Amino acid sequence: MSGGRYVDHRAEVLKRLVEIDEVVRRANDQSDLIDQAYLMQLAVIKLSGHVEYCVGRMIAGYLEEHSSHRVLAFSKRQAERITNLNPAKLEQLVGGFDPDWQRALTDFLNTDENRQSLGNLIGARHKLAHGGATRATAPILAEYRKVANATVNLLFDLFLPVNS
């Protein structure tokens, strides 16, 4: 247990999101369409990685506050191995901690186009990582960012709620 210690895990997450926004801004400023496309693809990769990074940070933060050092060491190594976190895999992972959390995530993903957008983001990154191509435009990236940020915020509220 943390014994009342509070670590702001959200600050690093926000810093990373600002960096991704800067890549998108630079892409939008490009007059060369090839350079713009490369920067948009970089933003897709970074945004997808951002979601995985955040999930890993949340799991580590939760375990730091709720488990012994041995369980923590083992679990942190497992959390570092989380990849290709599509919506179904994310629901399963969250459900491993608490079925109520899984229901909350499922409800969120079933709202609007959240499941589809998150799945498309992860899928686009997967295509790029394996030599494929994806057409990422500013509006598509804006939608990806919106759902990625909302997903991360929901998970933070579940795993590491801010004490009032």
In this predicted model, what pLDDT tens digit does every residue of 107-120 receive, in sequence order?
999 999 999 999 99
Residue 63 has pLDDT above 80, yes or no: yes
pLDDT value at residue 147:
96
User: Please, what is the angle between helix 69-79 and helix 33-66, to 10°?
Assistant: 160
How many beta carbons lie within 10 A of that of residue 115, not counting itself? 19
pLDDT of residue 140 exceeding 90? yes
- The pLDDT of residue 160: 87
Any residues with CB less than 8 A from the CB of 59 and at least 6 apart, and which?
75, 76, 79, 82, 159
> Using an 8 Å Cβ cutoff, are 9 and 126 in contact?
no
Instruction: Return the amino acid letter for 110.
Output: N
Q: Does the structure show a pLDDT above 60 at 5? A: no
> Mean pLDDT across the stretch 31-38?
94
Residue 60 confidence (pLDDT): 82
pLDDT value of residue 164: 46
Other C-beta atoms lying within 10 Å of the C-beta of residue 58: 22
Domain boundaries, the chain: 9-159
More confident residue, 69 or 31: 31
| 76 has a pLDDT exceeding 80 | no
**pTM value?**
0.87
More confident site: 11 or 119:
119
The predicted-structure confidence for 80-138, as pLDDT tens digits, reads as follows 778 889 999 999 999 999 999 999 999 999 999 999 999 999 999 999 999 999 889 98
Identity at 69, one-letter amino acid code: H
Q: Which residues are CB-neighbours of 113 under 8 A, at least 6 positions away?
A: 143, 147
145: Cα within 13 Å, side-chain hemisphere: 22
The secondary structure of residue 84, as a DSSP letter, is S
